[in-house]
Amino acid sequence: MAGAVLLDPDVAALDALAIVLGHGDGSRLFRALKRDRLLCTEVQASCYTPVDPGLTIVGLTLKPEQVEDAVREALRQVYATRAAEVTDEELSLACRLIESEAVYQRETVQGQARKLGFYESSASGIEFEAQYLARVAALTPGIVREAGERRIDPGAAVACAILPEGDGIDSEGLSTLLLEAEEAARKAPRAPPSPRPPEKREPIRFAEPRTGPLLREPLPGGGALLVKEERAVPLVALRAVWPGGLRAESDADCGVNMLLARLAAKGTRSRGAIELAREFEAMGGSIGGNSGRNSFGVRAEMLSRHLERGFELFAECIAEPSFAPPEVERERKLQLDELRSREDNPAGVAFQLFSETLYRKHPYRFDTLGTEESISRLGPSHLAAYRERRYSPGRAVLSVVGDVDPAQVQRLASKHFGAHRSGPAVELRPPEEERPASPRRVVKKLAKAQAHLVVGFLGARLSDPLRWPLEVLSAVLSGQGGRLFVELRDKRSLAYSVTSFSMEGVDPGSFAVYIGCGPEKVTESLEGIRHELERCRQSPPTPAELDRARTHLIGTHAISLQRNSARAAVYAFDEAYGLGADFSSRFAEHVGAVTSADVLAAAQQVLDPRGEVIALVAPEGAIPSELS
């Protein structure tokens, strides 16, 4: 649908309307399409407002057979905002989110530079943000509806869909849906306007920038509290982390941690998922779960003035998850849908095949989403018992970073976590994976236009000194100035994309090279990768390569830790993995100490052709004879 130009007074109202429609779990489109009817796996709404007229966009990810019902309902929800005003609560949440987003953008130098450059080049000057936020502060439900009536014209709607060949709906069907929705919108009665004035909200205040030391305090239940005062922006990030994740799974319950993460903010004994989502949105924040190869956790972020309430709800989600049957069934179905759509991402299929082939005993071989059989067995009682056994609140590593008073955080942690006593820790002892004694191969045939090849080896632990030269080796190989890009893409035109990675774990991880190439170039690509790996085994990187790699790693690491949420996560993970909360502060020291001889020795130790593992996803006829 046609949008506004950047300097149009309607822009603030349209941005607020897009948030009401499609931002977060409490939005209209999320509730109507995803939560209530499971018509899609993803939904979002946004406004694109460049210098010239832009667009108001609604996007859906869904099954082909759901397109008709989903598009019909999405159009109904969008056009309803023309007939009736958004509620005071919806508008208040939208305005708070817009205002808080302006704060989040100040966390990084990229965010600040991007804003200043955009305002100066396209928005008449750097004072644009203040003018825009003043318009946001003046919004009323009536103003938002009037902007929607002007800009969301049912007669100007455009629909497009990317679908499997011969599946779902055709262009004529989409046109029919648009015409039906337009007719219904024209006939819809217009609710009378309300005379309500703009809401008076407390302005966001910035404190004097200040940073404090990283503090660590043990918790009575066996966990730890980490606090880092960072007063550059009025935000605070919270993390609770436990060792676990994929390492704690088996064939019978793989996928359980991902499902627990999806349910982390889907209701407690005292409040439901929508109430939780709205409370955090009102605080300019969010809450959710996360699960990876080595850990499980809960994360939250908010404006720092809401720390007391935010910490209380954060602790409630950790200590009192409800696992309500409807929520469990909904999230389980969505996880199954994601699992069944894996083949839509053939590169991801190649990486999963690589893991399954490299690891024969260790749980790193599992898909984080699980299997259809294992997920189908996970009911509310199983989830509750698993979480109680593995992730006791008292054993959490709590990490709090941001505009906070450490004494206040310590008081809150004592209040909400001090009473939790834990039984003996459930020790994780997954089977130790041995380095392959001979090469391993796996091939999956998919009728895709591109082939995806992974060549890799068993790698290092997070605690292993070997990880540092391996990270430098990966940096020598990858990136636009790296050997793989220059040799395989620039000089030989073999690759659409090519990279390497060193993925360490609490247990031995992996070192691998990935290439996406045309099906006719698989044999030559494999030969090229092997040639570059042999070069790594035969001779050390040049001084220039070593310097570039070390500088790149140190710089990207520093850039990655600009946000409070990133620092809170790193401190918590490193503490939970037994490395120490301040481990990341020595990253530059470790990388800077790596020599060319170290890199050569690591390559000779890890890149042993006898332990080579190859995973290939390619169409019929593209499989090299040695992999057939």
Q: What are phi and psi of 133, to 5 degrees?
A: -65, -30
Q: What's the CA angle centered on 611, arms 610 and 613, to 5 degrees? A: 120
Query: Does 50 share its domain with 145?
Result: yes
pLDDT attached to residue 426: 77
Among the residue ranges 32-46, 185-199, 239-253, the one predicted with the least confidence is 185-199
Q: Angle at which helices 467-477 and 596-606 pack, to 10 degrees?
A: 90
For residues 320 and 269, is the Cβ–Cβ distance under 8 A?
Answer: yes
Query: Does 120 share its domain with 219?
Result: no
* For residue 307, pLDDT beyond 90: yes
Percentage, residues of the chain above pLDDT 90: 85
Pair type for strands 295-303 and 235-243 = antiparallel
CATH number at residue 603: 3.30.830.10
pLDDT attached to residue 164: 85
Query: Does 406 share its domain with 507?
Result: no
The H-assigned helical ranges of 377-444 are 380-390, 406-417
Q: What are phi and psi of 218, to 5 degrees?
A: -70, 150
Query: Does 49 share its domain with 148?
Result: yes
Query: Which residues constitute the domain of residue 462?
Result: 440-627
Query: Does 221 share its domain with 182?
Result: no
Q: Rounded mean pLDDT of 346-370?
A: 98
Reported pTM: 0.91
- Kindly state whether residue 274 falls inside one of the protein's structural domains: yes
- Kindly state whether residue 87 falls inside one of the protein's structural domains: yes
Q: Out of 187, 221, 243, pick the residue that ends a domain.
A: 187
22 is written with which tokens? 């499609």
- What's the N-to-C CA distance of the chain in angstroms? 50
What total number of domains does the chain contain? 3
pLDDT in tens, 430-469: 999 999 999 999 999 999 989 999 999 999 999 999 999 9
Selection from 240, 355, 364, 247 nearest residue 299 by Cα: 240
Query: Does 241 share its domain with 356?
Result: yes
Selection from 240, 274, 270 nearest residue 387 by Cα: 240
pLDDT attached to residue 573: 98
Query: Does 132 share its domain with 225?
Result: no
Helices first, then strands: H and E counts in the chain? 23, 13
Query: Does 447 share its domain with 331?
Result: no
- Kindly state whether residue 165 falls inside one of the protein's structural domains: yes
Pair type for strands 451-458 and 510-517 = antiparallel
Q: Rounded mean pLDDT of 100-121?
A: 91
Selection from 23, 14, 13 nearest residue 138 by Cα: 13
Query: What residue type is 300 in one-letter code?
Result: A
pLDDT attached to residue 437: 95
- Kindly state whether residue 429 falls inside one of the protein's structural domains: no
pLDDT attached to residue 1: 58
331 is written with which tokens? 């999230």
181 is written with which tokens? 């929705």
Query: Does 164 share its domain with 275?
Result: no
- Kindly state whether residue 343 falls inside one of the protein's structural domains: yes
Q: Given strand 613-618, what is the order of strands in its sheet? A: 440-445, 613-618, 451-458, 510-517, 495-503
pLDDT band at 274 (very low <50, low <70, confident <90, very high): very high
- Kindly state whether residue 194 falls inside one of the protein's structural domains: no
For residues 398 and 224, is the Cβ–Cβ distance under 8 A?
Answer: yes
pLDDT attached to residue 452: 97
- Kindly state whether residue 435 falls inside one of the protein's structural domains: no
Side-chain-facing half-sphere of 511: CA atoms under 13 Å: 30
The H-assigned helical ranges of 171-255 are 171-187
- Kindly state whether residue 431 falls inside one of the protein's structural domains: no
State the DSSP code for 98: H
pLDDT attached to residue 3: 63
Query: Does 183 share its domain with 220?
Result: no
Q: What gap in Å lies between CA 83 and CA 547, rounded to an integer?
A: 62
Query: Does 84 share its domain with 155?
Result: yes
Sign of CA dihedral 329, 334, 339, 341: positive
Query: Does 413 share its domain with 444?
Result: no
Give Rg (Cα) of the chain. Answer: 26
